Amino acid sequence: MAIAREVASVTKLGVEVAIVVGGGNIFRGASWAGCSGLDRSSADYIGMLATAMNAIFLQATMESIGIPTRVQTAFRMSEVAEPYIRRRAVTHLEKGRVVIFAAGIGNPFFTTDTAAALRCAEINAEVVLKATNVDGVYDADLRHNPNARLLETEVS
């Protein structure tokens, strides 16, 4: 609900908002690869499904406070979300709807950070905000590599 309220306050200013959700709170594919015979691709697909669960939950929360929202997924889940179609996403944004992107880019071995950068470029977003448990983008996972370096170069 806190996230929904924060997004609502921004949309009320007339800002178009698109969100890429992760699923690490439910399942983190890279962490499970190799466990019990689970290959990396399968683990990543399960992680993508976790992002869809979070997207549907966020959508329900946002709509409960009156914020029109659409979920678009990188692979088909037509009973619960729209497929990702760039032009449709842009139209939703122009109509004042929040668009929540789920299932990453639909391919294993790519993080939701990759999805965020890609969707940002595709919809011509002006700003990307990263709301995670770390303070930026690193060259390695901070939980596994204490020597990970913060990437300070702006990408344009």
Instruction: Specify the pLDDT at position 136.
Output: 74
State how many domains the chain has.
Answer: 1
110 found inside a domain: yes
Instruction: Specify the pLDDT at position 143.
Output: 78
135 found inside a domain: no
pTM equals 0.85
DSSP code per residue over 50-64: HHHHHHHHHHHHHHH
48 found inside a domain: yes
130 found inside a domain: no
Instruction: Specify the pLDDT at position 138.
Output: 78
- Domain residues for 88? 2-122
- Domain harbouring 11, CATH code: 3.40.1160.10
84 found inside a domain: yes
All residue ranges of the chain with pLDDT < 50 are: 156
